[in-house]
Structure 1
């Protein structure tokens, strides 16, 4: 029997860890949108130091040659350097949180061993993610490596959500899922696949925007839109399909459940995130690609998938609970 107090403590820690990973995704988006990815040209140190410099005078005279920044303008920029450095500190902090999550998950060895072993798996994946981060720097921000880095973060957070949901399934109250249409789960799975496809297209758009930004030396953002590739317009149009699909899901939840139920709140959150993502996308399209809109758009996309995935797991365990009561 799992100690209830220990289970609640694990839930709080796991929830904090999930939120921290999403915060790291936001910070990573800020790094990329601001062009600060090579603010620290080496890894794990920054300009050969564990605490990066704040002014050029603190660097050796030959730092341009010693640290090949990969840009035509290799002038030291303290804002970009510290933006990237804070991104790394956030990553280290999350590594610590996931390590603590893995340690705390030992309480499930007597009740649900999968929670413990999946927690260890996540810890191992975070180590691999750290190595991949060093590869991003070593590859001079190669777009394919950056995309892999982001997709792995998406997979890690999905695993964390599954661990959190599985560890708390016995604490969820019973509710009658028979009020939902039989095809609800299939449409939900289709909605998740659509989100993943949209994220994949979004990464291609981001790679194109990175190239455009580099060509424009990260200035004149109002002219970037003229060079957007075809995939951008496909990505933009596909958002309406995602909106209507998830709108149908929420309508069915709205019809079947009270406003205070968890499933209603999760459905409402999904719709709110989709609207926020669309508004951020519109601002990128119509307001000259404002830097803050890029990381917000990325964060919303990741939150949409994570919330959809949580809803799917929640319904899965609720269905099992219903079957056990029959």
Structure 2
């Protein structure tokens, strides 16, 4: 049972990665409304292609003529997302049977269920930015929960295969390190949310100069407008904000990138001080440099599709690396604390045993 769950979680990690990539691809090709209904497409289970099917579809949705390429992008994303939902449900059932990781599996199932609701709202509310951003964050959350389940199962599998004991590996200054990892994770999550807000409001090309924006952006910058939630519109496709608001959103995202890079740089210095965590530091540092390069390329080359999709996915990998770091350091701290408590308990009982 343990091995089966472990293998299924590996498959789920690959599948959720594909779903995230397809989600970004769908959004960046303006295919979010490629199918104007949910969960089908123009009333069909597949994309209508025949002349008769297209006629029926356009009669049902006259405001949305069939664009086969966009509809195909949307439905492929839905098929993979649906497959992931089935797999997560299976993992939940197996976790209940094994009586292991039940809370985590239940949280994962609830997240995927709500993610499906957000997917429906994305269509039925015509790409409302708050829903689109929430759908992005839901996808990233799903990935991180599956990753955490994978890490926990991997630990159990290794212990079972090798018949080894969980020996403590204390980290010097681990309390500070764990705090830095948590801070970096929070900042990266906020930056991902800003990236989702930028994309959802079609503000990705609002600034085409580096490092911040075009000259005079300070006079146009309006934080309250950038963080306001647009409501009351029948359709949000291609954005409803004026240029000044989009520019402010984009500038805010760039400031977030500077802050995130600074926090990660401090964390890298701390990670590098521990020899066992240097490979993690190298991975995190490399991903950060790649992400910065992709962000700059998006500006210089005016948001090429491949680069924009990669920028989205590398952001996910950055978050995943921080989750792994959090798990490793926290696991070592718990093990070390347990050993310390047990040692203290044995020491306190020793004189009584000798006196007896």
TM range (shorter): 0.7 to 0.9
Cα deviation, 1:73-124, whole Å, max 9, x if unaligned, reads x442211111111001110111122122223324541xx4xx0232133223
| 2:202 counterpart SS class | helix
Shift of 1:31: 0.3
Determine if contact 2:284/2:321 at 8 Å carries over to the other structure.
yes
Partner of 1:316: 330
Q: Residue in 2 aligned with 1:208?
A: 201
Cross-structure match for 2:262? 244
Please give the TM-score of this superposition, normalised by the length of structure 1: 0.81
Instruction: Name the CA distance, whole Å, in 2 between partners of 1:280 and 1:142.
Output: 26
Conserved 8 A contact 2:204-2:303? no
Range with bigger deviation, 229-238 or 138-147: 229-238
- Give the drift of 1:295: 2.2
Query: CA offset at residue 250 of structure 1?
Result: 2.6
Q: How does 1:183-202 map to 2 (within 5 A)?
A: 183-202=176-195
Aligned residues: 302
Q: Is the 8 A contact 1:22 1:303 kept in 2?
A: no
* Paired residue secondary structure (2:42): coil
Q: Which residue among 18, 23, 26 is the counterpart of 1:23?
A: 18
Where does residue 105 of structure 1 map in the other structure? 95
Unaligned runs of 5+ in 2: 160-165, 207-234, 341-356
2:318 to 301, 304, 317: 304
Query: Are the structure 2 counterparts of residues 141 and 194 from structure 1 closer, same or farther at C-alpha, using a change threshold of 3 Å?
Result: same
**Number of the residue aligned with 1:127:** 113
Backbone CA RMSD of aligned residues: 3.0
Compared CA separation, residues 227 and 289, structure 1 to 2 (3 A): farther
Q: How big is each residue's C-alpha offset from its partner over 1:207-232, in whole Å with a ceiling of 9 and x where there is no partner?
A: 232698999989xxxxxx99951231
* Contact 2:128 2:236 survives alignment (8 Å): no
Q: Taking structure 1 as reference, are residues 89 and 209 closer, same or farther at Cα in structure 2, changes over 3 Å only?
A: same
CA distance in 1 between counterparts of 2:143 and 2:7 reads 15
Once the two structures are superposed, what CA deviation does each residue of 1:10-69 show, in whole Å capped at 9, x if it has no partner? 2232132123212211110100000111111211211211121235x2435364341155
Hey, what's the Cα distance between the residues in 1 that align with 2:96 and 2:339? 29
1:35 and 2:21 matched: no
Greater relative contact order structure (CA < 8 Å, 6+ sep): 1
Query: Separation in 2 of the partners of 1:29 and 1:60?
Result: 26
TM-score by length of 2: 0.75
Unaligned runs of 5+ in 1: 1-5, 219-224
Residue 81 of structure 1 aligns to a residue whose secondary structure is helix
- The SS at the match of 2:55 is coil
State the alpha-carbon separation in 1 of the partners of residues 237 and 77 from structure 2: 25
1:275 matches 2:289: yes
Give me the whole-angstrom Cα distance separating, in 1, the residues matched to 2:108 and 2:195. Answer: 25
- Counting only pairs closer than 5 Å after superposition, residues 44-59 of structure 1 correspond to structure 2 as 44-54=39-49, 57-59=51-53
Q: CA deviation at 1:152?
A: 1.9
- CA distance in 1 between counterparts of 2:300 and 2:281 reads 29
